[in-house]
Amino acid sequence: MDVIDTWTGQLACHLQAALRMSREAFADRIGVHPQTVAGWHARPGIVPRAEIQDALDTVYERAPAPVRLRFTRLAQPPADSQVQALRVAIAVVLRGADVLLVQRRDGGELHWQFPAGVVKPGAETAAVAVRETRAETGVHCTVRQPLGSRLHPATGVQADYVLCDHLMGEPANLDPAENAEAAFVPVASLTRFIPADRIYRPVLDALGVAA
C-alpha cells in the first residue's frame, strides 16, 4: 500500500499502531490534539480535513519500511471478509421549532450539515444516530422515526436518515478538529444553512419545509 487516496480515522489509527506510538506521541507527530486521535478511535469512519490528510501523508511517506509493512498488514481486510458499502446514520434532531446542525470543516471551506456517524456492520442506525449526535454536540436525543435511505449525491455513501427529538443538553462543538460550530437553528431558516436541493426530500417533508 504505497499511496493512501483518503485517510480515515481507522487508517490513521492503523498508522499509529504501526509506529507503536501512544496517542499522545502520535498526536504530537502529526500536529493535532490527542483528543483528535481519540476521536479517530471512537469514530473510525471519519475523514480528517485536508491539512491533517497532508500531515498523515508526510508521516507515512517518511516511515521506515518495517513500519509501512506493519501498516499494510493492519489496513488489509481479512481475506474472508465481505466488502460492504460505507453507511452513515444522519440525525435530524428537533427541539420545538429548531433543528440541530453542525458546521463541518472541509478543507478550507465550512458548510452546515446534520450530525452524522458511520454505521459499522451489525450496528443499529438509530443507536449510531443518537450516539454520534451526543459525541459531536453533547445533545441527548431519542429517535422518533426513520425517514428513509439514499445514496448521498455528494459523498457517494449510503445515508440513513432518522428523525429525532431533543431530550436534554445545549449544543457544543465537541469535535473541534472536524467541526467549527454546533447550533440549533430555526427550521424555517434551514435552507439558509443548507441549500434545499442538497437536503433529502423526506427530511424536508418531515420538517414541513418547502423545497
Sign of CA dihedral 163, 125, 170, 184: negative
pLDDT tens-place string over residues 91-123: 999 999 999 999 988 766 889 999 998 888 888
Task: State the fold for domain 87-207.
Answer: Nucleoside Triphosphate Pyrophosphohydrolase (3.90.79)
Q: Please state, in angstroms and rounded to a whole number, the distance separating the CA atoms of residues 159 and 147.
A: 11
- Segment 163-174, tens digit of pLDDT: 999 999 999 999
Which helix (H) or strand (E) is 89 found in, with range?
Answer: strand 87-95
- Domain ranges within the chain, ordered by starting residue: 9-75, 87-207
Q: What is the pLDDT of residues 180-198, one digit of tens each?
A: 999 999 999 999 999 998 9
pLDDT at position 78 is 56
The pLDDT value recorded for residue 23 is 87
Q: How many helices (H) and strands (E) does the chain have?
A: 8, 7
